[in-house]
Amino acid sequence: MGKIAQKPPLTDLATSILTVRSRQHPHMPNPISTLLDKLLGRKQRPRGSTPEKIINTFKNGVREVDEGHPKKAIKYFTEAISASRNSAKLHHYRADAYALVGEHEQAVIDYDTAVRLNAKYPDTYLDRGNLHYQLGKLETALKDFSEAIRLKPEWGEAFANRAVIHTELGNAKESEADAAIAISLGVDEAKLNEMLQAAKNEAAE
């Protein structure tokens, strides 16, 4: 993939638009092997791996991201994926880390893999949509945000992001409709208007 002039992430345009979103994984009951199977979607683990090791590797990756070390996180997520290749969430987390370090092609590959493994997880579409937006792929981002909304109809952040896309594409009515829904779902109106104005300025350039 060639170097592309990137847009700022939508989340950067609205830092305080919503409380920072954190992915909540289902509470994982004992025994730990049952927990791992539910988390990673596996039926069988390769030899040499243990549930505890894979979970700890995953947690180490999450910690490195939280501490601002996405490159280190990628190594941990890759190790976990090697032991559990059919985990959509592991691919999603690694995609997020790749996006943070600017390895966008690898991020898209992992997001696509995560969607293929679990097409019903709305967060993947939102995050992939944000990446496509950064890369200037507005129509593709629009499709991702629309799918996130279909899967999670009361997600204000997704409506706000789609409103921005519609604004840049010149779809004024659609943008107004999405913005109104986003505000009704708790998105800060002032921050959303700031996002929309930035999108209008971008479209006018």
Residue 98: domain span? 27-118
Half-sphere exposure of 83 (CA within 13 A, CB side): 21
Of 102, 118, 134, at which residue does a domain stop?
118
- Dump pLDDT digits (tens) for 90-101: 999 999 999 999
- Dump pLDDT digits (tens) for 104-125: 999 999 999 999 999 999 999 9
Question: Are 56 and 81 members of one domain?
Answer: yes
Q: For residue 167, is pLDDT > 50?
A: yes
Question: Are 103 and 128 members of one domain?
Answer: no
Of 91, 118, 145, at which residue does a domain stop?
118
d(CA 144, CA 104): 16
How many Å separate Cα 11 from the centre of its chain? Answer: 11
Of 118, 144, 167, at which residue does a domain stop?
118
Share of the chain above pLDDT 70, in %: 76
Half-sphere exposure of 148 (CA within 13 A, CB side): 23
| 35, part of any domain | yes
| 62, part of any domain | yes
Residues 134/168, Cβ–Cβ less than 8 Å:
no
How many other CB atoms sit within 10 Å of the CB of residue 170?
10
Question: Are 61 and 81 members of one domain?
Answer: yes
Which pTM does this prediction carry? 0.79
d(CA 104, CA 1): 8
Picking from 137, 140, 188, the residue whose alpha carbon sits closest to that of residue 160 is 188
> Can you give the pLDDT at residue 8?
54
Question: Are 107 and 136 members of one domain?
Answer: no
* Integer angstrom CA distances of residue 202 from 131, 156, 186, 191: 17, 22, 25, 17
- Dump pLDDT digits (tens) for 7-27: 555 644 443 333 233 343 333
Q: How many domains does the chain have?
A: 2
| 3, part of any domain | no
